[in-house]
Amino acid sequence: MTTPASAVRLYLDHLLVERGTAENTLASYRRDLTRYLEHLEAAGVTDLAEVTERHVGDFLVGLRTGAGGRAPLATASATRAVVAVRGLHRFALAEGIVAVDVAREVHPPSPPRRLPKALDVATVDRLLTARGGDADDLGGIRDRALLELLYSTGARISEAVGLDVDDVDATERSVRLAGKGGKERIVPIGRPALAALDAYRVRARPGLAARGRGTPALFLNARGARLSRQSAWASLRAAADLAGVAGDVSPHTLRHSFATHLLDGGADLRVVQELLGHASVTTTQIYTQVTVDTLREVFAMAHPRARM
C-alpha cells in the first residue's frame, strides 16, 4: 500500500532530482498537491490505488467552486493544479504504484476566449505617425517603418524583427514572413508602409548599420545589430505614449486591429486566415465576434427602433 502523501513525496523528489524542475514550479506543485491530499483525506482515501476518476473530477469541481471553505481558483490556477495531479498519477503508473492512471481523462478547464483588443482606424493613424518626423532621429524613423509594417501586414512581432532586407519586395508590394514552425507566407503591403520602409532604408538604416558588423536584418538597433522583440515592444510603447493612446497596447494590438479592420471592410475570413498565417480558420473566427459587436453597437446607436 502506498499512501497518497507518500506518493506525493516520491513525485516531488522525482521532479526535483530527475527532472530538474524549477523551485518556483516545484513550490506551486507542492501547494496544489497538498490541497489534493486534503481532498482525498476528506473522502476517506488512505491508499493511492483507491483513488478513482470521480475523486479527481470532484477535486477539479472543488477548485472552481471553492469547496472546503476556500475561495474558487481562477482558470489558470485550476489548470495548474489539475496538471500537477495528472502528473502525480502518471508518475504513479510508471513506477508501478498503481495499475491504472485514473486522472488521464480528467482535463484542465478551458480558458475563456478573450476577444482581441482592436484600435479604431483614427487611433491607429495617430499611433503610426507619432514618431519618425525628425530627420536626425534614426530610431524614430525605424520605429515608424516597423509599426507601419506591423499594421499593414498583420505580422507577428517575431516575424517583423526576423525580416531581412531582401524579404521586402517593393516592386511586387509584398513581404515574405517566416511564421510559426518555419512556415513562410507572402503577404501584400500597403503604399504607406512601403513609403515608411523606403524612408527608413534611405535615411536611417545606413547610419545604424555603420555601428555594427554587417547584418542582413531589416530592422537594426542602436548598435547596428538585429532589433530584438523586447526593443520592438519598447518602441511601440513609446509611440503609444506620444500618441496619447491609453490602455495596454502591444504588437498584437496592431495585428488584431489589422484583422478586425479587414473584416469590417468586407474581407473574406479565409483570406484573413491566410494573411495572419493561422493554421486553422477556427483561430481566425474569434475576430468575427469583434465585428459583430461593432455592428451591434452601431445598430443600437443608429436604428430608430433599436432601443424601443
Name the one residue in this structure whose C-alpha cell is 496544489.
Answer: 32
Q: Has this prediction a pTM greater than 0.95?
A: no
Indicate if 47 and 148 belong to the same structural domain: no
Q: Are residues 73 and 135 in the same domain?
A: no
Identify whether 223 is part of a domain.
yes
Q: Is 287 a catalytic residue?
A: yes
The span from the CA of 236 to the CA of 257, in Å, is 14
Of the listed 180, 270, 296, 303, which one is catalytic? 180
Catalytic status, residue 180 = yes
**Residue 307 included in any domain:** no
Tell me what pLDDT residue 21 has.
85
Looking at the structure, do residues 82 and 135 belong to the same domain, yes or no?
no
Residues 127 and 256 in one domain: yes
* Same-domain check for residues 251 and 296: yes
Q: Is residue 138 part of a domain?
A: yes
In a domain, 107, yes or no: no
Residue 241 belongs to domain with CATH number: 1.10.443.10
Within a domain: 75: yes
Beta bridge partners of 177: 185
Question: Could you report the per-residue pLDDT of 204-227, keeping only the tens digit for each?
Answer: 999 999 999 999 999 999 999 999
Query: Would you state the pLDDT for residue 61?
Result: 85
Same-domain pairing of 272 and 134: yes
**CA–CA separation, 73 and 63 (whole Å):** 6
Shared-domain flag, residues 36 and 132: no
Domain span at residue 162 reads: 121-302
- Same domain membership, residue 274 and residue 128: yes
Q: Which of the residues 183, 252, 270, 296 is marked catalytic? A: 252
Is 55 one of the catalytic residues? no
Give every residue of the chain whose pLDDT is below 50, as ranges. 308
Q: What is the rounded radius of gyration, in angstroms, for the C-alpha atoms of the chain?
A: 26
Which of the following is catalytic: 39, 55, 80, 156? 156
Q: How far is CA 271 from CA 67, 105, 152, 274, 275, in A?
A: 47, 37, 15, 5, 6
User: Would 108 be classed as within a structural domain?
Assistant: no
Whether residue 130 is found in the same domain as residue 181: yes
Same domain (yes/no): 80, 138 = no
The predicted structure's pLDDT at residue 240: 93
Residue 115 belongs to some domain of the structure: no
Q: What pLDDT score does 174 carry?
A: 94
The number of folded domains in the chain is 2
Query: What is the per-residue pLDDT for 301?
Result: 64
The pLDDT of residue 194: 96
Same domain, 147 and 187: yes
DSSP string, 212-281: SS---BSSB-TTSSBPPHHHHHHHHHHHHHHHT--S---HHHHHHHHHHHHHHTT--HHHHHHHHT-SSH
Active site residue 278: yes
Q: Does residue 59 sit in the same domain as residue 160? A: no
Question: What is the model's pLDDT at position 296?
Answer: 61
Q: Reply yes or no on whether 14 is catalytic.
A: no
Looking at residue 12, its pLDDT comes to 95
